[in-house]
Amino acid sequence: MLNINNIILINDPYTVSNYFEDIGKGVGDTIELNNVVLTFNDIKKPEKELPTEMDTEERNWLMDNTDIATKELYINLYTRRAIMYNLHKSGLGHNCLNTFHFYYREDKLHLNVYVRSMNFDANFENDLYTFNILLEKAHNKLLLSKGQIIVFIMSLHKFKEK
């Protein structure tokens, strides 16, 4: 982990819980890590299921709409336009998982994900697994080697114990 200029860089998502106590800040009824950048190549399926039916619907929507982004890669493998915005009808003003950006560099297909807000206890593991599923689907469809996933999280938080 590297914490510099209000950015937290983490290469192992399985260590994130350690940082809440060390560098987390109180924001309302949460402990928050701001501007977290996670990198990983693969993640195992979480033991716990998605927390709500809406989360399941959102994952399915994202999987169904991955072609929105990857079709750009059919046209130009080195495009910067292979982007998918999360337009799933969640009832929120802005979905927590915002933008998915696929790109092909160094002979691998990579995925950047931009996250507005993520509840560590309820969604973290399942969201990372969702990102892994999306990259797997795209790399299988495009027949490209799988690269890394980089996740930019503005607010990674957990609720304070009462």
Q: From CA 91, how far away is CA 142, in angstroms rounded?
A: 33
Residue 30 sits in a domain of what CATH number? 3.30.572.10
* Beta partners for residue 159, in sequence order: 30
pLDDT digits (tens, 9 = 90+) for 108-161: 999 999 999 999 999 999 999 999 999 999 999 999 999 999 999 999 999 998
How many domains is the chain partitioned into structurally? Answer: 1
Full residue range of the structural domain in which residue 68 is found? 2-159
pLDDT (mean) for 101-113: 98
Report d(CA 2, CA 149) in Å as an integer. Answer: 18
When pLDDT is cut at 50, 70 and 90, the band that residue 6 belongs to is confident
Please state the separation of Cα 113 from the chain's center in Å.
5
Name the pTM for this structure. Answer: 0.94
